[in-house]
Amino acid sequence: MKKQELIFIPGPGVGHLSSCLELAKLLLDHDDRLSITALVMNMPFTPPVSSYTRSITASQPRIKLVHLPEVDPPPSDLLRKSGEAYVCDFIESSTPQVRAAVTDIISSLSNSDVRVAGFVLDFFCVSMIDIANEFSLPPYIFIPSNAGFLGLTLYLLERHDEISEVMKMSDPDSLIPGIFNPVPARVLPDAVFNEDGGYDTYVKVARRFRDGKGIIVNTFAELEPFVLRSFADDHRIPPVYPVGPVLQLKGQPHPELNQDQVDRIMKWLDEQPQSSVVFLCFGSYGSFSLPQVKEIALGIEQSGFRFLWSVRFPLSTSSPFMNPEDALPEGFLERTEGRGIMCGWAPQVEVLAHRAVGGFVSHCGWNSILESLWYGVPIVTFPIYAEQQLNAFRMVKELGLSVELKLDYRQDGDLVSADEIAKSVTCAMESDSEVRKKVKEMSEKGRESVMDGGNSFTSITQLIEDIAGNS
């Protein structure tokens, strides 16, 4: 194979960008004849990506980042109505900038021994398939989530072509191909119930999946065998490449990084017995009402376990991490002194990797799930938004890899009680539990999958060969 350049178009925001660039690094590690240019969109209302992108280019010289010119964002009221619709509208408004950047890339390589071989697009960026077609280059779609989420979107498209109406929370359980158990409506993403653009966005994105040359998914065959087999049996779906777990195990720069706080956290963990600490962390956007924070605190206290709790509050409050005494039950800090640490941002990867951590109360974002599986730490499910409820449902009911706290929690829903929290944490922390054994086994399978000869390793190799053959 000659030297080849791939054009990556990540979704806007650090989460999508980091997943896409970790995939880029994975491909480069597999084949030294590849190079990659990523076109970076900077969307309003999202954390800056500059610190992260600097670390990527410093660590991998064969990745070049092109920051696209700013465009006028969609109306802010669309963001309030549907985050998914806002993101897709923003991406589509960047089409002229993307086309110009691709033209420049191809022109700059015209007299070299490197040829552009194809596009890799974040699934929110499927409108850019049209640009790939303009340049006669194969488009591959990257889903940083799991195969079950891909199955849901494809099911939603088929349902829409038959019914053409937004789903309702009162709908009967859905029989989604590839998902073994009937799926209750209450664990589906909010977007499928959204009449202001969210539902239409999911359908529009799913419809373009069939226009890709292949779909790359951040999962591995041993984790989701049933759903992956269902794709292979459907000729309408392009080839699916399970290449995961795609993880950034060294952590990443964060705008709220406080090295003194990190050092304090890690020093405290070093002093704790093995598997004795429960870690509570709910993602960059995961926050709770003050009454729910109080219930979580009481639940931790009632459980009796050591804890590390990354606390965030809604953006309507003065800061993402306020004085804990303003939100916690009276006397909580005094009663738990020495038994736990509360902080704002926490270095999640480093914490999960630590021998002292024995359980993880999580929002069930897919990256967090893969990280917990990698390090063999059982999850207690506390989903909040996006596809997290579906992830929680499948991890508990289908895969048996998590302890159920809530599967259908939403920020405007009923409070989860301290008793429920204490019970689930206690279950996850049991040293001889069936869930812990299954998580340890899946951890080994995930690590083996990305090693030479493993299923994901083989899938990545096949992906690279197919891109070369299709271009």
The reported pTM is 0.94
Confidence (pLDDT) at 303: 97
Tokens of 200: 């239409």
Tokens of 172: 């009967």
Q: Label residue 424 exposed, middle or buried (CB < 10 Å: 0-12, 13-18, 19+).
A: buried
Are 3-244+450-470 and 259-446 equal in CATH topology?
yes
- How many helices (H) and strands (E) the chain has is answered by 18, 13
Confidence (pLDDT) at 323: 62
Confidence (pLDDT) at 459: 98
CATH 3.40.50.2000 fits 259-446, yes or no: yes
Contact 379, 403 (CB under 8 A): yes
User: What SS3 class is residue 75?
Assistant: coil
Q: Which of the 8 DSSP states describes residue 183?
A: B
Give the closest residue to 28 by CA, choosing from 1, 5, 9, 53.
Answer: 5
Would you give per-residue pLDDT tens digits along the chain (471 residues)? 689 999 999 999 888 888 999 999 999 999 999 999 999 998 876 666 666 667 776 778 899 999 999 999 999 999 999 999 999 999 999 999 999 999 999 999 988 999 999 999 999 999 999 999 999 999 999 999 999 999 999 999 999 999 999 999 999 999 999 999 999 999 999 999 999 999 999 999 999 999 999 999 999 999 999 999 999 888 889 999 999 999 988 766 565 667 888 999 999 999 999 999 999 999 877 788 889 999 999 999 999 999 999 987 654 444 444 565 678 899 999 999 999 999 888 999 999 999 999 999 999 999 999 999 999 999 999 999 999 999 999 999 999 999 999 999 998 788 999 999 999 999 999 988 999 999 999 999 999 999 999 999 999 999 999 998 876
How many residues are present in the chain?
471
User: Where in the chain are the domains?
Assistant: 3-244+450-470, 259-446
Confidence (pLDDT) at 380: 98
Tens of pLDDT, residue by residue over 325-375, are: 678 899 999 999 999 999 888 999 999 999 999 999 999 999 999 999 999
Q: Which residues pair with 142 in a beta bridge?
A: 122, 216
Confidence (pLDDT) at 260: 85
Instruction: Please state which architecture CATH assigns to domain 3-244+450-470.
Output: 3-Layer(aba) Sandwich (3.40)
Helix (H) or strand (E) holding 139: strand 139-143
User: What is the Cα–Cα distance from 33 to 50, expressed in whole angstroms?
Assistant: 27
Confidence (pLDDT) at 321: 46
